[in-house]
Structure 1
Protein backbone atom coordinates (compact mmCIF):
# COMPACT_ATOMS: atom_id res chain seq x y z
CA UNK A 1 0.00 0.00 0.00
CA UNK A 2 2.85 2.38 0.83
CA UNK A 3 4.38 1.68 -2.57
CA UNK A 4 1.11 2.63 -4.31
CA UNK A 5 0.84 5.90 -2.39
CA UNK A 6 4.46 6.70 -3.18
CA UNK A 7 3.77 6.22 -6.90
CA UNK A 8 0.68 8.43 -6.73
CA UNK A 9 2.64 11.10 -4.86
CA UNK A 10 5.46 10.90 -7.40
CA UNK A 11 2.95 11.24 -10.26
CA UNK A 12 1.37 14.45 -8.94
CA UNK A 13 4.72 15.97 -8.00
CA UNK A 14 5.97 15.18 -11.50
CA UNK A 15 2.92 16.80 -13.15
CA UNK A 16 3.45 19.99 -11.13
CA UNK A 17 7.11 20.06 -12.16
CA UNK A 18 6.30 19.45 -15.85
CA UNK A 19 3.83 22.36 -15.83
CA UNK A 20 6.08 24.75 -13.92
CA UNK A 21 9.52 24.27 -15.50
CA UNK A 22 10.08 25.75 -18.96
CA UNK A 23 11.75 23.85 -21.79
CA UNK A 24 14.79 26.11 -21.45
CA UNK A 25 15.04 25.21 -17.77
CA UNK A 26 14.57 21.48 -18.34
CA UNK A 27 17.33 18.88 -18.36
CA UNK A 28 17.04 15.91 -20.71
CA UNK A 29 18.93 12.62 -20.76
CA UNK A 30 18.99 10.90 -24.14
CA UNK A 31 19.20 7.14 -23.58
CA UNK A 32 19.94 4.14 -25.77
CA UNK A 33 20.88 0.52 -25.21
CA UNK A 34 22.22 -2.34 -27.29
CA UNK A 35 21.16 -5.88 -26.43
CA UNK A 36 21.75 -9.56 -27.17
CA UNK A 37 18.40 -9.65 -28.98
CA UNK A 38 15.02 -7.98 -29.22
CA UNK A 39 12.98 -10.15 -26.84
CA UNK A 40 13.47 -9.32 -23.19
CA UNK A 41 10.78 -11.87 -22.28
CA UNK A 42 12.96 -14.60 -23.80
CA UNK A 43 15.99 -13.69 -21.71
CA UNK A 44 17.82 -11.18 -23.89
CA UNK A 45 20.19 -8.84 -22.02
CA UNK A 46 21.71 -5.37 -22.26
CA UNK A 47 25.28 -5.27 -23.58
CA UNK A 48 25.72 -1.51 -23.85
CA UNK A 49 24.07 1.59 -22.41
CA UNK A 50 24.73 5.22 -23.27
CA UNK A 51 23.27 8.59 -22.39
CA UNK A 52 23.87 12.21 -23.36
CA UNK A 53 22.63 15.26 -21.47
CA UNK A 54 20.81 18.20 -23.05
CA UNK A 55 20.22 21.44 -21.18
CA UNK A 56 19.39 24.98 -22.28
CA UNK A 57 18.70 23.61 -25.80
CA UNK A 58 22.30 22.41 -26.13
CA UNK A 59 23.97 18.99 -26.20
CA UNK A 60 26.34 18.77 -23.25
CA UNK A 61 29.43 17.15 -24.75
CA UNK A 62 31.01 17.15 -21.29
CA UNK A 63 28.20 15.00 -19.87
CA UNK A 64 28.22 11.61 -21.59
CA UNK A 65 27.69 8.10 -20.23
CA UNK A 66 28.99 5.21 -22.33
CA UNK A 67 29.23 1.75 -20.77
CA UNK A 68 29.71 -1.76 -22.08
CA UNK A 69 27.79 -4.28 -19.97
CA UNK A 70 28.49 -7.94 -19.24
CA UNK A 71 25.20 -9.72 -20.07
CA UNK A 72 26.43 -12.96 -18.49
CA UNK A 73 25.13 -14.86 -21.51
CA UNK A 74 26.57 -15.46 -24.97
CA UNK A 75 25.95 -12.75 -27.56
CA UNK A 76 24.38 -14.27 -30.70
CA UNK A 77 26.35 -13.79 -33.90
CA UNK A 78 23.38 -12.12 -35.62
CA UNK A 79 23.25 -9.49 -32.87
CA UNK A 80 27.00 -8.86 -33.09
CA UNK A 81 26.54 -8.25 -36.82
CA UNK A 82 24.21 -5.35 -35.93
CA UNK A 83 25.99 -3.61 -33.04
CA UNK A 84 29.50 -5.10 -33.46
CA UNK A 85 29.80 -6.03 -29.76
CA UNK A 86 31.46 -9.42 -29.19
CA UNK A 87 31.68 -11.69 -26.15
CA UNK A 88 35.32 -10.75 -25.61
CA UNK A 89 34.39 -7.06 -25.54
CA UNK A 90 32.16 -7.49 -22.48
CA UNK A 91 33.62 -10.45 -20.58
CA UNK A 92 35.53 -8.20 -18.13
CA UNK A 93 32.92 -5.44 -17.98
CA UNK A 94 30.53 -4.84 -15.05
CA UNK A 95 26.99 -6.19 -15.04
CA UNK A 96 24.04 -3.85 -15.35
CA UNK A 97 23.29 -4.14 -11.64
CA UNK A 98 26.89 -3.20 -10.83
CA UNK A 99 26.52 0.10 -12.70
CA UNK A 100 22.89 0.88 -11.82
CA UNK A 101 23.92 3.62 -9.39
CA UNK A 102 26.09 5.21 -12.08
CA UNK A 103 23.16 5.24 -14.53
CA UNK A 104 20.75 6.58 -11.92
CA UNK A 105 23.14 9.36 -10.94
CA UNK A 106 23.58 10.35 -14.57
CA UNK A 107 19.87 10.59 -15.41
CA UNK A 108 18.93 12.19 -12.08
CA UNK A 109 16.72 15.29 -12.37
CA UNK A 110 16.41 14.78 -16.12
CA UNK A 111 13.54 13.89 -18.45
CA UNK A 112 14.40 10.61 -20.18
CA UNK A 113 14.31 10.74 -23.99
CA UNK A 114 14.85 8.01 -26.57
CA UNK A 115 13.87 6.67 -29.97
CA UNK A 116 11.44 3.83 -29.21
CA UNK A 117 12.34 4.44 -25.57
CA UNK A 118 9.94 1.77 -24.27
CA UNK A 119 12.33 -0.85 -25.66
CA UNK A 120 15.18 0.46 -23.51
CA UNK A 121 13.01 0.94 -20.43
CA UNK A 122 11.70 -2.64 -20.61
CA UNK A 123 15.24 -4.02 -20.77
CA UNK A 124 16.46 -1.89 -17.87
CA UNK A 125 13.46 -2.88 -15.74
CA UNK A 126 13.87 -6.57 -16.54
CA UNK A 127 17.66 -6.87 -16.42
CA UNK A 128 17.93 -4.91 -13.16
CA UNK A 129 14.96 -6.36 -11.29
CA UNK A 130 14.44 -5.34 -7.67
CA UNK A 131 16.89 -2.43 -7.92
CA UNK A 132 16.49 1.33 -7.61
CA UNK A 133 17.10 1.58 -11.36
CA UNK A 134 14.21 -0.78 -12.13
CA UNK A 135 11.94 1.10 -9.73
CA UNK A 136 12.81 4.41 -11.40
CA UNK A 137 12.02 2.96 -14.82
CA UNK A 138 8.59 1.86 -13.57
CA UNK A 139 7.44 5.40 -12.70
CA UNK A 140 9.38 7.51 -15.18
CA UNK A 141 7.57 9.67 -17.78
CA UNK A 142 9.75 9.49 -20.89
CA UNK A 143 9.67 11.34 -24.20
CA UNK A 144 9.72 9.08 -27.28
CA UNK A 145 11.13 10.85 -30.33
CA UNK A 146 9.08 8.60 -32.61
CA UNK A 147 5.85 9.83 -31.05
CA UNK A 148 7.10 13.41 -30.77
CA UNK A 149 8.06 13.44 -34.46
CA UNK A 150 4.66 12.02 -35.40
CA UNK A 151 2.90 14.61 -33.26
CA UNK A 152 4.70 17.38 -35.11
CA UNK A 153 4.94 15.74 -38.55
CA UNK A 154 1.99 13.32 -38.88
CA UNK A 155 2.32 12.72 -42.62
CA UNK A 156 5.77 11.13 -42.79
CA UNK A 157 5.95 7.61 -44.22
CA UNK A 158 8.91 6.45 -42.11
CA UNK A 159 9.90 7.21 -38.51
CA UNK A 160 13.09 5.15 -38.40
CA UNK A 161 15.98 7.14 -36.91
CA UNK A 162 18.30 7.23 -39.93
CA UNK A 163 15.43 8.10 -42.25
CA UNK A 164 14.35 10.97 -40.00
CA UNK A 165 17.88 12.36 -39.88
CA UNK A 166 18.05 12.23 -43.67
CA UNK A 167 14.61 13.81 -44.04
CA UNK A 168 15.41 16.71 -41.71
CA UNK A 169 19.03 17.11 -42.91
CA UNK A 170 20.42 16.20 -39.49
CA UNK A 171 24.13 15.29 -39.51
CA UNK A 172 24.53 11.54 -39.04
CA UNK A 173 27.59 10.42 -41.01
CA UNK A 174 29.97 11.01 -38.09
CA UNK A 175 28.24 8.45 -35.83
CA UNK A 176 28.09 4.64 -35.84
CA UNK A 177 24.46 3.56 -36.23
CA UNK A 178 23.32 0.78 -33.85
CA UNK A 179 25.93 1.67 -31.28
CA UNK A 180 24.38 2.97 -28.06
CA UNK A 181 26.44 6.16 -28.06
CA UNK A 182 26.09 6.73 -31.80
CA UNK A 183 22.32 6.38 -31.63
CA UNK A 184 22.27 8.69 -28.61
CA UNK A 185 24.00 11.38 -30.65
CA UNK A 186 21.57 11.02 -33.54
CA UNK A 187 18.58 11.00 -31.20
CA UNK A 188 19.92 14.05 -29.35
CA UNK A 189 20.28 15.99 -32.60
CA UNK A 190 16.80 14.92 -33.73
CA UNK A 191 15.33 15.84 -30.35
CA UNK A 192 16.88 19.32 -30.44
CA UNK A 193 15.39 19.84 -33.89
CA UNK A 194 11.96 18.73 -32.61
CA UNK A 195 12.33 20.80 -29.45
CA UNK A 196 12.82 23.94 -31.49
CA UNK A 197 9.85 23.08 -33.72
CA UNK A 198 7.68 22.59 -30.64
CA UNK A 199 8.86 25.91 -29.23
CA UNK A 200 7.93 27.63 -32.50
CA UNK A 201 4.41 26.26 -32.05
CA UNK A 202 4.16 27.84 -28.61
CA UNK A 203 5.00 24.76 -26.52
CA UNK A 204 6.62 26.05 -23.34
CA UNK A 205 6.92 23.06 -20.97
CA UNK A 206 7.25 19.28 -20.71
CA UNK A 207 3.48 18.84 -20.42
CA UNK A 208 3.16 20.33 -23.90
CA UNK A 209 5.75 17.89 -25.27
CA UNK A 210 3.91 14.96 -23.70
CA UNK A 211 0.66 16.08 -25.34
CA UNK A 212 2.43 16.13 -28.71
CA UNK A 213 3.76 12.62 -28.01
CA UNK A 214 0.24 11.42 -27.14
CA UNK A 215 -1.02 12.86 -30.42
CA UNK A 216 1.73 11.02 -32.30
CA UNK A 217 1.11 7.77 -30.43
CA UNK A 218 -2.53 7.79 -31.49
CA UNK A 219 -1.71 7.94 -35.19
CA UNK A 220 -2.55 4.62 -36.78
CA UNK A 221 0.34 4.54 -39.23
CA UNK A 222 2.89 4.76 -36.40
CA UNK A 223 2.00 1.17 -35.53
CA UNK A 224 2.77 0.10 -39.08
CA UNK A 225 6.20 1.73 -38.93
CA UNK A 226 7.09 0.56 -35.43
CA UNK A 227 8.54 -2.82 -36.44
CA UNK A 228 12.35 -2.92 -36.25
CA UNK A 229 12.40 0.83 -35.64
CA UNK A 230 14.86 0.73 -32.73
Structure 2
Protein backbone atom coordinates (compact mmCIF):
# COMPACT_ATOMS: atom_id res chain seq x y z
CA UNK A 1 0.00 0.00 0.00
CA UNK A 2 1.40 3.38 -1.03
CA UNK A 3 1.07 6.29 1.40
CA UNK A 4 2.57 9.77 1.58
CA UNK A 5 3.76 11.18 4.90
CA UNK A 6 3.99 14.95 4.69
CA UNK A 7 4.49 18.13 6.69
CA UNK A 8 4.22 21.82 5.95
CA UNK A 9 5.70 25.05 7.27
CA UNK A 10 3.68 28.26 7.05
CA UNK A 11 3.64 31.97 7.82
CA UNK A 12 1.04 31.45 10.55
CA UNK A 13 -1.94 29.43 11.70
CA UNK A 14 -4.86 30.41 9.47
CA UNK A 15 -4.90 30.28 5.66
CA UNK A 16 -8.27 32.08 5.68
CA UNK A 17 -6.55 35.07 7.30
CA UNK A 18 -3.90 35.26 4.59
CA UNK A 19 -1.27 32.91 5.98
CA UNK A 20 0.61 30.94 3.34
CA UNK A 21 2.50 27.69 2.99
CA UNK A 22 6.25 28.24 2.62
CA UNK A 23 7.57 24.67 2.66
CA UNK A 24 6.31 21.14 2.08
CA UNK A 25 8.11 17.84 2.57
CA UNK A 26 6.66 14.51 1.42
CA UNK A 27 7.97 10.97 2.02
CA UNK A 28 6.71 8.00 0.01
CA UNK A 29 6.20 4.79 1.98
CA UNK A 30 4.97 1.46 0.62
CA UNK A 31 3.73 -1.13 3.11
CA UNK A 32 5.05 1.15 5.87
CA UNK A 33 8.59 1.14 4.42
CA UNK A 34 10.14 4.36 3.03
CA UNK A 35 11.07 3.93 -0.63
CA UNK A 36 13.51 6.84 -0.79
CA UNK A 37 11.22 8.88 -3.05
CA UNK A 38 10.56 12.38 -1.70
CA UNK A 39 9.09 15.69 -2.78
CA UNK A 40 10.46 18.82 -1.09
CA UNK A 41 10.01 22.46 -2.00
CA UNK A 42 10.14 25.99 -0.57
CA UNK A 43 7.63 28.58 -1.78
CA UNK A 44 7.62 32.34 -2.00
CA UNK A 45 4.57 33.35 0.07
CA UNK A 46 4.42 36.83 -1.49
CA UNK A 47 4.05 38.39 1.94
CA UNK A 48 6.10 39.13 5.06
CA UNK A 49 7.27 36.47 7.52
CA UNK A 50 6.03 37.09 11.08
CA UNK A 51 8.78 36.86 13.68
CA UNK A 52 6.93 34.17 15.62
CA UNK A 53 6.67 31.90 12.59
CA UNK A 54 10.31 32.48 11.63
CA UNK A 55 11.36 31.51 15.16
CA UNK A 56 9.69 28.12 14.65
CA UNK A 57 11.09 27.14 11.25
CA UNK A 58 13.89 29.62 10.60
CA UNK A 59 12.67 30.59 7.11
CA UNK A 60 12.99 34.31 6.47
CA UNK A 61 11.26 36.39 3.82
CA UNK A 62 14.69 37.10 2.33
CA UNK A 63 15.45 33.36 2.00
CA UNK A 64 12.07 32.70 0.36
CA UNK A 65 12.15 35.71 -1.99
CA UNK A 66 13.71 33.82 -4.93
CA UNK A 67 11.78 30.57 -4.39
CA UNK A 68 9.01 29.50 -6.81
CA UNK A 69 5.37 30.23 -6.21
CA UNK A 70 3.20 27.32 -5.10
CA UNK A 71 1.33 27.52 -8.42
CA UNK A 72 4.58 26.89 -10.28
CA UNK A 73 5.03 23.48 -8.63
CA UNK A 74 1.41 22.47 -7.96
CA UNK A 75 1.22 20.03 -10.88
CA UNK A 76 4.52 18.38 -9.89
CA UNK A 77 3.33 18.05 -6.29
CA UNK A 78 -0.01 16.54 -7.32
CA UNK A 79 1.77 14.08 -9.60
CA UNK A 80 3.83 12.92 -6.62
CA UNK A 81 0.83 12.66 -4.29
CA UNK A 82 -1.32 10.82 -6.86
CA UNK A 83 -4.36 9.33 -5.12
CA UNK A 84 -2.48 7.95 -2.11
CA UNK A 85 -3.58 8.43 1.51
CA UNK A 86 -1.83 11.44 3.07
CA UNK A 87 -0.41 11.05 6.58
CA UNK A 88 0.27 14.14 8.71
CA UNK A 89 0.56 15.08 12.38
CA UNK A 90 -2.47 17.18 13.28
CA UNK A 91 -3.47 16.60 9.67
CA UNK A 92 -6.34 19.08 9.60
CA UNK A 93 -3.80 21.93 9.83
CA UNK A 94 -1.67 20.70 6.94
CA UNK A 95 -4.69 19.80 4.80
CA UNK A 96 -6.11 23.26 5.39
CA UNK A 97 -3.00 24.96 4.01
CA UNK A 98 -2.52 22.46 1.18
CA UNK A 99 -6.08 22.90 -0.04
CA UNK A 100 -5.94 26.67 0.35
CA UNK A 101 -2.87 26.81 -1.89
CA UNK A 102 -4.45 24.44 -4.41
CA UNK A 103 -7.54 26.64 -4.55
CA UNK A 104 -5.42 29.75 -5.13
CA UNK A 105 -3.68 28.04 -8.03
CA UNK A 106 -6.91 26.85 -9.64
CA UNK A 107 -6.72 23.17 -8.61
CA UNK A 108 -9.29 20.94 -6.98
CA UNK A 109 -8.77 20.35 -3.24
CA UNK A 110 -7.49 17.05 -1.91
CA UNK A 111 -10.40 15.05 -0.50
CA UNK A 112 -10.23 14.82 3.28
CA UNK A 113 -11.21 11.15 3.07
CA UNK A 114 -7.53 10.60 2.19
CA UNK A 115 -6.43 12.20 5.46
CA UNK A 116 -4.63 10.05 8.06
CA UNK A 117 -4.01 11.98 11.29
CA UNK A 118 -1.25 10.56 13.48
CA UNK A 119 -2.40 12.69 16.43
CA UNK A 120 -5.72 10.82 16.42
CA UNK A 121 -3.95 7.47 16.13
CA UNK A 122 -1.59 8.38 18.99
CA UNK A 123 -4.50 9.55 21.14
CA UNK A 124 -6.14 6.14 20.79
CA UNK A 125 -2.89 4.27 21.40
CA UNK A 126 -1.67 6.41 24.31
CA UNK A 127 -4.62 8.16 25.99
CA UNK A 128 -3.56 10.93 28.33
CA UNK A 129 0.04 10.98 27.05
CA UNK A 130 1.82 13.85 25.31
CA UNK A 131 1.17 13.69 21.59
CA UNK A 132 3.68 16.11 20.09
CA UNK A 133 6.07 14.77 17.46
CA UNK A 134 8.96 15.24 19.90
CA UNK A 135 7.13 13.31 22.63
CA UNK A 136 6.31 10.42 20.29
CA UNK A 137 9.89 10.28 19.04
CA UNK A 138 11.02 9.97 22.66
CA UNK A 139 8.43 7.27 23.38
CA UNK A 140 9.58 5.14 20.45
CA UNK A 141 13.31 5.81 20.76
CA UNK A 142 13.57 7.73 17.47
CA UNK A 143 16.62 9.99 17.28
CA UNK A 144 15.62 13.62 16.81
CA UNK A 145 18.86 15.20 18.05
CA UNK A 146 19.33 16.88 14.65
CA UNK A 147 15.94 18.62 14.90
CA UNK A 148 16.98 22.07 16.11
CA UNK A 149 14.10 23.82 14.33
CA UNK A 150 11.01 22.64 12.51
CA UNK A 151 11.57 21.69 8.88
CA UNK A 152 8.97 20.11 6.63
CA UNK A 153 11.14 17.36 5.15
CA UNK A 154 12.89 16.53 8.43
CA UNK A 155 9.61 16.42 10.31
CA UNK A 156 8.07 14.21 7.61
CA UNK A 157 11.02 11.82 7.92
CA UNK A 158 10.58 11.63 11.71
CA UNK A 159 6.83 11.29 11.37
CA UNK A 160 7.22 8.39 8.93
CA UNK A 161 9.15 6.51 11.63
CA UNK A 162 6.56 7.40 14.26
CA UNK A 163 3.73 6.32 11.96
CA UNK A 164 5.32 2.90 11.47
CA UNK A 165 5.51 2.45 15.25
CA UNK A 166 1.96 3.69 15.81
CA UNK A 167 0.61 1.21 13.29
CA UNK A 168 2.34 -1.91 14.52
CA UNK A 169 6.09 -1.53 14.11
CA UNK A 170 8.37 -2.57 11.30
CA UNK A 171 7.26 -6.22 11.27
CA UNK A 172 4.09 -5.03 9.51
CA UNK A 173 6.12 -4.67 6.33
CA UNK A 174 7.27 -8.30 6.22
CA UNK A 175 4.10 -9.29 4.35
CA UNK A 176 4.29 -12.91 5.49
CA UNK A 177 0.55 -13.34 5.00
CA UNK A 178 0.87 -12.53 1.32
CA UNK A 179 3.07 -15.53 0.53
CA UNK A 180 1.26 -17.92 -1.79
CA UNK A 181 0.78 -21.49 -0.53
CA UNK A 182 2.89 -22.78 -3.43
CA UNK A 183 5.74 -20.59 -2.24
CA UNK A 184 5.36 -21.32 1.46
CA UNK A 185 7.12 -24.67 1.23
CA UNK A 186 10.23 -22.97 -0.11
CA UNK A 187 10.40 -20.91 3.11
CA UNK A 188 10.63 -24.04 5.28
CA UNK A 189 14.14 -25.09 6.29
CA UNK A 190 15.29 -28.29 4.63
CA UNK A 191 15.33 -31.32 6.92
CA UNK A 192 18.89 -32.45 7.69
CA UNK A 193 19.89 -35.66 5.87
CA UNK A 194 20.98 -38.55 8.13
CA UNK A 195 21.34 -42.32 7.94
CA UNK A 196 18.29 -44.19 9.20
CA UNK A 197 19.24 -47.14 11.43
CA UNK A 198 17.20 -50.36 11.33
CA UNK A 199 15.01 -51.00 14.40
CA UNK A 200 16.63 -53.00 17.20
CA UNK A 201 14.81 -55.85 19.06
CA UNK A 202 13.65 -54.84 22.54
CA UNK A 203 12.03 -58.07 23.84
CA UNK A 204 13.39 -59.26 27.21
CA UNK A 205 15.27 -62.55 27.26
CA UNK A 206 14.22 -65.51 29.46
CA UNK A 207 17.14 -64.76 31.79
CA UNK A 208 16.07 -61.10 32.15
CA UNK A 209 12.47 -62.12 32.92
CA UNK A 210 13.66 -64.56 35.62
CA UNK A 211 15.83 -61.91 37.25
CA UNK A 212 12.88 -59.47 37.22
CA UNK A 213 10.60 -62.00 38.95
CA UNK A 214 13.23 -62.65 41.59
CA UNK A 215 13.56 -58.92 42.25
CA UNK A 216 9.80 -58.41 42.55
CA UNK A 217 9.58 -61.21 45.14
CA UNK A 218 11.94 -59.27 47.40
CA UNK A 219 9.61 -56.23 47.55
CA UNK A 220 7.60 -55.72 50.77
CA UNK A 221 3.98 -54.58 50.31
CA UNK A 222 4.28 -53.36 46.68
CA UNK A 223 1.81 -50.61 45.73
CA UNK A 224 0.14 -52.66 43.00
CA UNK A 225 -0.96 -55.21 45.67
CA UNK A 226 -2.39 -52.60 48.07
Identify whether the pair has TM-score above 0.5, normalized to the shorter chain: yes
CA offset digits 1:102-148 (Å, max 9, x no partner) = 11111113210000111011112222316565x24245421100001
The aligned residue for residue 56 of structure 1 is 31
Determine the structure 1 residue equivalent to 2:74: 100
Alignment match, 1:186:
158
Selected match of 2:123 from 139, 150, 153:
150
1:163 Cα deviation from its structure 2 partner: 0.8
**How many Å separate the matches in 2 of 1:78 and 1:57?**
34
Contact 2:89 2:159 in 1 (8 A): yes
For each residue in 1:36-56, what CA deviation from the matched residue of structure 2 results, as whole angstroms up to 9, or x when unmatched?
111222110011111001113
In structure 1, the gaps of 5 or more residues are: 1-25, 201-230
Seen in structure 2, the aligned counterparts of structure 1 residues 144 and 75 have a Cα distance that, compared at 3 Å, is same
**Residue pairs, 1:1-230, within 5 angstroms:** 26-61=1-36, 63-129=37-103, 131=105, 133=107, 135-154=108-127, 156-196=128-168
Aligned counterparts of 1:113 and 1:182: Cα–Cα separation in 2: 14
- Asked whether the equivalents of residues 29 and 110 of structure 1 are also in contact (C-alpha less than 8 Å), the reply is yes
Q: What's 2:223 paired with?
A: none
Deviation at 1:161, TM superposition (A): 0.9
Q: Which structure: larger Rg?
A: 2
More helix by share: 1
Conservation of the 8 A alpha-carbon contact between 1:175 and 1:185? no
Task: Check the 8 A contact 1:45/1:123 in 2, yes or no.
Answer: yes
Figure out how many residues of one structure are paired with residues of the other and give that number: 172
Given that 1:27 and 1:109 are in contact with CA atoms closer than 8 Å, whether structure 2 keeps it comes out as no
Give me the whole-angstrom Cα distance separating, in 1, the residues matched to 2:112 and 2:86. Answer: 11
The secondary structure found in structure 2 opposite 1:196 is coil
Structure 2 gaps, min length 5: 173-226
Residues 142-172 of structure 1, C-alpha deviation per residue, up to 9 Å, x if partnerless? 1100001122222x32111101111221222
What whole-Å deviation, never above 9, does each CA across 1:18-74 have from its counterpart, x for those lacking one?
A: xxxxxxxx111011110011122211001111100111321122x011100010101
Partner of 1:211: none
1:73 and 1:65 map into 2 onto residues whose CA distance is 24
RMSD: 2.1
User: TM-score under structure 2 normalisation?
Assistant: 0.70
